[in-house]
Chains A and B, each alone.
Chain A
Amino acid sequence: MFDRLGEVVSVVLGALALGYLIYEIDRRKRKLSDLFYVLDNEDADISAELMDMVESGELQPYTRGGRA
């Protein structure tokens, strides 16, 4: 009886530990790809606006003491 209960508790605890580990790795992976965010066609409008600002001369490259 107690042996069986002990086995069940071990299995449940092991599953919980494994689940937590998977959750934690996935969370950090998502945070990493949010931190270093790769731009693709979904972000085209964001980038296009920045490019337009440069092309139109609205933004100038930084030189010491200057800010757009």
Chain B
Amino acid sequence: MAKTRSGPRPPMPQNNPPSVNEGAVIELPVRARPRKSRPSGPPRFRIFIIDSGWNSVARRVLRHNFALVRRLHRDDPIYLLSRKRSRDFIHRHRSLIGRDPIIAVHDLDAIQQHYGNAGFHGLHLHLGILRTPRQVLTALQAFARFLRVHRESPDLEPDIRSELRREGIVGTVEILLHKVPRVIGG
């Protein structure tokens, strides 16, 4: 048996607010702020993303935040290797197995200074070694921040070394205080 509603109906909400006349055209304000033009100049880095497709938390976090990473580093070209290309690449460089997704950053200034990749020439972020989404996100944020802050640095290598040393000291203090270090987690 179908139930029928009985009793007084509640008053229907008014569709038109009283202040707006029917048929009136409301002009939306035109964007007042001019868009900032993209800064020109040669790129400092080349960024490669290598991901052979392990179903890992790192892969999911990277995919979810890729647009933001792209926007933060829009002055530098990003090269995405397809899953197949990444697999072939990792197959040829087996030390990378289990470390992907990898964000490889080549410092074009350092490559120019050292006439190639004989000395320091960049860094890798091995997201695949992390286990929890929080760890991956924290590492990704630290990495994006580091690249952005040190983009104009005349020599990136000492900056990386000192940042790692600082991170290590902070980690040691956090271990002594029984806290989980920020970047690498447990």
Contact = CB atoms under 8 A, between A and B. Distances in A.
Interface in B79-108: 79-82, 85, 89, 92-93, 96, 99, 104, 106
Interface of B: 46, 48, 70, 77-82, 85, 89, 92-93, 96, 99, 104, 106, 116-127, 129-130, 139, 143, 157, 160-161, 163-164, 167-168, 171-172, 175-176, 181, 183-184
Q: Would you list the 7 A-B pairs with minimal beta carbon distance, nearest first?
A: A61-B77, A37-B124, A47-B117, A62-B78, A44-B117, A59-B79, A39-B122
A36 B85 contact: no
Contacts of B78: 61-62
12 contacts: A24-B175, A32-B167, A35-B126, A36-B163, A36-B164, A37-B126, A39-B104, A41-B118, A44-B117, A46-B104, A47-B104, A59-B48
A67 interface: yes
Interface of A: 21, 24-25, 28-29, 31-41, 43-51, 53-54, 59-62, 67-68
A31 B129 contact: yes
Contact of B106 (A24, A37, A47): A47
Contacts of A53: 79
Contacts of A39: 104, 106, 117, 120-124
A49 B50 CA distance: 13
A49 B89 contact: yes
A68 B120 CA distance: 27
A49 B88 CA distance: 12
A68 B124 contact: no
B79 A38 contact: no
A51 B50 CA distance: 14
A44 B73 CA distance: 24
Contacts of B161: 38
A62 B79 contact: yes
